[in-house]
């Protein structure tokens, strides 16, 4: 199999960032909510690529880390600030 015949890897599998829209869809939020959170310092860390925003999947403070930190065992636990 030559290089030209190799299947293209999934773009998602190779990327380490989610776009604003991808993260909004993943969490069932509107992109405006993520924009508001960035303005007040809430939510996962993000990177700016010129005019675009990317959310790292696996870095400290990234999407996967954030998802783990907002898990609770009971409703009496204090919410993550």
Terminal C-alpha separation, the chain: 52
Check residue 75 and give its pLDDT.
Answer: 83
pTM: 0.71
42 half-sphere exposure, CB direction, 13 A CA radius: 10
Q: Are the C-beta atoms of residues 48 and 38 closer than 8 Å to each other?
A: no
In the numeric block, the tokens 């960035």 are attached to 38
What's the average pLDDT block by block, 10 residues per block, for the chain (81 residues)? Answer: 49 72 97 97 93 92 90 76 48
Check residue 5 and give its pLDDT.
Answer: 53
Taking the CA atoms of 29, 65, 35 and 37 in sequence, report the sign of the dihedral they define.
positive
Taking the CA atoms of 24, 20, 37 and 77 in sequence, report the sign of the dihedral they define.
positive
């Amino acid at each position: 199999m030559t290089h030209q015949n190799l299947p293209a890897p999934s773009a998602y599998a190779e990327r380490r960032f989610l776009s604003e829209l991808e993260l909004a869809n993943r969490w069932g939020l509107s992109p405006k909510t993520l924009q508001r959170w960035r303005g007040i310092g809430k939510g996962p860390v993000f990177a700016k690529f010129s005019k675009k925003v990317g959310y790292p999947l696996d870095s400290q403070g990234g999407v996967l880390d954030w998802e783990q930190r907002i898990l609770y065992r009971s409703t009496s636990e204090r919410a993550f600030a």
